Structure 1
Amino acid sequence: MRNLLHPSLGLIGRVLIIVLLTILIEFCAGTILYDRASSLRVREDEANRMAEHIAAASRVMIQRDPSERPAMASRLSSANFTVTWHRTLPPPPPMSADLFEMRDQIVAREPVLDHHMLRLYLREPGRRTVVVGSLALDDGTWLTFNAPQLVDEGKFRIAWIAMMIVVAIGLSLIAGLMIRTTLQPVRRLAVAAARIGHGEQEQIAETGISEVRDLIRAFNEMQGRIHSLIADRVEALAAVGHDLRTPLARLQLRAEGIGDDQLRESIGADVREMAGMVSSLLAYLGGDDDPENPQAVDLAVMAATLVDDIVDQGRDASYAGPDHLTHHLRPLGFKRALRNVVENAAKYGDMVQVTVNADQDHVTIQVEDDGPGIDAERLEDVLRPFVRLDDARGRDTQGLGLGLAIAVRAVEMEDGTIHLANRDSGGLCVTISLPRGDGGIAQSRNAGRH
């Protein structure tokens, strides 16, 4: 089998060989099973009855004058056993091998028939199998008979169909296993393709048929180029970020020397906005290669701290939830995501409410504001990068529209989801849901800080 399915064979060749092997095995198995099933064997009582009929008819016929024998044969016949007398018969053909067992059953009941050249044959008028036979009498004449009810043809067909179904099922399983083995490298390739661009490059062993090996080789080369492009992009962005921050820092220092307070403040705000845009752009385009490892983080403290920062800015913000809630995640990336969501709520609303809840399966963080909200048909648009909904939430349109896009990416890295919905009382509600996973959540002192 290993030689038949050598890796040098193509996909078409392998499938063709599997199909041919399946057909060949089915043909051989069908032939063997047919021979076994067609070895006709009647019930013992039927064989005994037929043996008695043949023996009785032969004894009666030999005692009658030849002129009386045709009429006597008619009287000896019935619906299930027909007898005919002949002066001569042509030489009988060889008896089929599958009827020897039936003949042995009859002879075992009436051994005397073994000396009268008893022969059995099958005749199929239409779809009904009939057993016919001939018997030599002592005077050289012949007695022929028909037994249409001797063979239970229905049981024969049922047994044949059942055996062929078993064979077909077995061959289907074997063929399926062979095809599954043939396509196993393709499944490994599909798994690797789903992970491409996420984390380290993973080379796939070039195994399988020739076409699959060529495909794996091309895939390995492609993912090498993709990871190289990502690495080049990260390095280029880091260099650009460094080059941009330096003149921005110098510009900020020079702005401090401007005597006009209003002009100085305006230039400083513009510089800070540009620095923020550079930071957000680098955070979003920095690629998926994240050096952070998940670790235990107190989400309750993180959320409460961000709320305190908003309060320190003179805004109305509150936290509701447990005092401590530990979860395993990437702390820097997730804190940046949660800060973007909280600051976005504070930018567009006069009030910010952050609520943290946990159950057996999920940790949920809700950030609500009382701002203008977002049109229902555009709730998904705001999660895309570089989208700013000026009409809906137009109080302040600074930035590149990457805050929520960065949050979406960070939450997805934790296998979580982020959902936006308008509040009935006005404003927006952003819900972040994180699965507990095997890392678990240790909740302690659920005193309910508000």
Structure 2
Amino acid sequence: MYLFNPPDEQQAIAPMAEQVALLKQVVRVAPTLVTIQQEPAGGEVAADLTAWLRVALKDRGISRSVVVSRKNDLPLLSIPVDQGWIVTQIPDLPPQGGLFNLLLMWHSLIALGSLAVALFFANRMVKPLVVLERAIESVGPDALLPELPMVGPAEVRVTAQALNSLSSRLKVAMDSRMRLVAAAGHDLRTPITRMRLRAEFVEDDDDRAMWLKDIDELDRIADSAILLVREESGKSPPEPLRLDMLVSELVEELRKLSYDVTLTRSTAGVVRANRTGLSRAFRNLIINAATYGKRARVAVESAPSEVIVVIADDGPGIPPDMIGQVFEPFFRADRARAKHFDGAGLGLTIANEIVQRAGGSITIENGPLRGLLQTVKLPAEHMEPSAPN
């Protein structure tokens, strides 16, 4: 009511002028009925109201130097008389600025309040999504979610509990799968051994050779499956390694085994990984290039944040529509050509698992002219490796 129907300043001038005239008569007729003080009311002077009231009094033939002021949030009228000042309270008037400023302040207050409430509820709604985003970012190389603390609002606790339950079930499923693969690989050993014994009694030399070759391939598949399980479940602690020295030693070792391998460039770089696992990964990659790509050229480059190993070969490469499947178990780009080479098709799968556990990545692509490029990137470790025993 005060906002939309306030007392009008112009309309309030006439009653105040009448009040001044009345008080003037009272002072003249019965001066004891009013209180007179020596000083006008203090406070902030309302200049506009004072000017309007003086004009109204002048129009009525009353020349008074009245003063309208506000003290302690009360509007006061000071009227000069011969003996001093008459001070009286007058009706409250709208604050300076008028209705538009009041509406602006009112709407601003409502908008700020609504914004605060909206931000509060939006924050509560977004918190579970933030927890989910952080959980996804913290997925380890073993593809498992770390256990999340169940603290905070109810929505966050429910989300953390659901993610922890999902991670637990996923870990049980992966462990069960690994045990199944390991058991299958181990159980294959007995029938493979029996088959090998029986094949030795085959009279035809060609048939016996073919049987033994197939049995050897089955044996390699079983060994590779067990090795893959060991790599995925391996808990060996990582250590700082000079990657350039590790690769150099592997190149020399494979050259002695009659593989066509050349170290074209080597820059010192330190990474943190399990030495045995990382050595197995690079051995698989280099042998893959030297076997299927005729020869392997290895380069080690060091950058401030990562160490890069590039393995190039001169082979036929991989069809573009199949290059996305290279890390799948038992992948063969050319089934017919694969018969001429030993191997179970798990070398790249095992290498990728080892490198990912070390925080790195493997990229395989066809070379610009021919052959295949295998690029391994590992995070650089800014500390010196421990001295070898």
For the superposition of Structure 1 and Structure 2, which TM-score range results when normalised by the shorter chain? 0.5 to 0.7
Normalised by the length of structure 1, the TM-score is: 0.59
Structure 1 residue 397 displacement after superposition: 6.8
CA RMSD, 1 decimal:
4.8
For 1:296, the aligned partner's letter is: P
Taking a change above 3 Å as real, the CA distance of residues 104 and 159 of structure 1, as seen in their structure-2 partners, is: closer
Go from structure 1 to structure 2 and tell me whether the alpha carbon gap of 1:372 and 1:183 turns closer, same or farther (over 3 Å shift): closer
- CA deviation after TM superposition for structure 1 residue 427, in Å: 0.8
1:440 maps onto 2:382 in alignment:
yes
Task: Name 2:147's counterpart in structure 1.
Answer: 202
Q: Which moved further from structure 2: 317-326 or 368-377?
A: 317-326
> Which residue in the other structure is 1:326 paired with?
270
Per the alignment, residue 291 of structure 1 pairs with 235
Aligned partner of 1:406 in structure 2 is 350
User: Counterpart of 1:241 in structure 2: which amino acid?
Assistant: G
Structure 1 position 366, deviation (Å)? 0.3
Give the equivalent residue in structure 2 for 1:58: 60
Cα offset, 1:342, TM superposition: 1.2
Gaps of 5+ in 1: 1-30, 62-98, 123-130, 132-150, 444-450
Matches within 5 A, 1:245-260: 245-248=189-192
2:297 to 353, 359, 368: 353
Whether 2:46 is the aligned partner of 1:104: answer no
**In 2, distance between residues paired with 1:258 and 1:365?**
48
- SS at structure 2 position matched to 1:59: coil
Q: Deviations over 1:259-296 (max 9, x none)?
A: 97766654444333222222333344568443121112
In structure 1, what is the equivalent of residue 244 of structure 2?
300
Provide the C-alpha distance between the structure 1 equivalents of 2:308 and 2:354, rounded to a whole number of angstroms.
15
Deviation per residue, 1:300-349 (Å, 9 max, x gap): 23222332343233232101333754321122333332222212111222
Cα offset, 1:57, TM superposition:
1.9
Counterpart code for 1:176: L
| Counterpart AA for 1:104 | P
Q: CA deviation at 1:388?
A: 2.1
Quote the residue 2:261 is aligned against.
317
Q: 1:186 to 1:349 in 2, by over 3 A?
A: closer
- CA distance in structure 1 between the aligned counterparts of 2:353 and 2:71, rounded to whole angstroms: 80
Residue 421 (1) aligns with residue 365 (2): yes
Equivalents in 1 of 2:310, 2:214: separation in Å?
32
Match for residue 381 of structure 1 among 325, 337, 352? 325
1:104-143 to 2 correspondences below 5 Å = 104=75, 107-108=77-78
Residue 178 of structure 2 corresponds to residue 176 of structure 1: no
- 2:51 matched to 1:49? yes
1:343 aligns with 2:306: no
Tell me, yes or no, if the aligned pair for 1:237 and 1:286 is still in contact at 8 Å. no
> What SS is found at the alignment partner of 1:319?
strand
- Letter aligned with residue 282 of structure 1: I
1:161 corresponds in structure 2 to 104
Provide the rounded CA distance (Å) in 2 between the counterparts of 1:258 and 1:226.
48
Structure 1 residue 52 displacement after superposition: 1.6
Q: Deviations over 1:98-140 (max 9, x none)?
A: x9999936x3477899899976777xxxxxxxx9xxxxxxxxx
Distance 1:187 1:115 in 2: 65
The answer on whether the counterparts of 2:260 and 2:296 sit within 8 Å (CA) in structure 1 is yes
State the one-letter code of the partner of 1:360: P
**Does the 8 Å CA contact 2:79/2:86 hold for their aligned counterparts?**
no
State the secondary structure of the residue aligned to 1:387. Answer: coil
- Correspondence for 2:334: 390
Identity %: 24
TM-score if structure 2 supplies the norm length?
Answer: 0.67
Change (3 A) 1:258 1:118: closer
Q: 1:212 to 1:184 in 2, by over 3 A?
A: closer
For residues 186-222 of structure 1, what are the alpha-carbon distances to aligned partners after superposition, in whole Å with 9 as ceiling and x for unaligned? 644664566486458737548743x766665555444
> Are the counterparts in 2 of residues 353 and 369 from structure 1 also a CA contact under 8 Å?
yes
* SS of equivalent to 2:326: helix
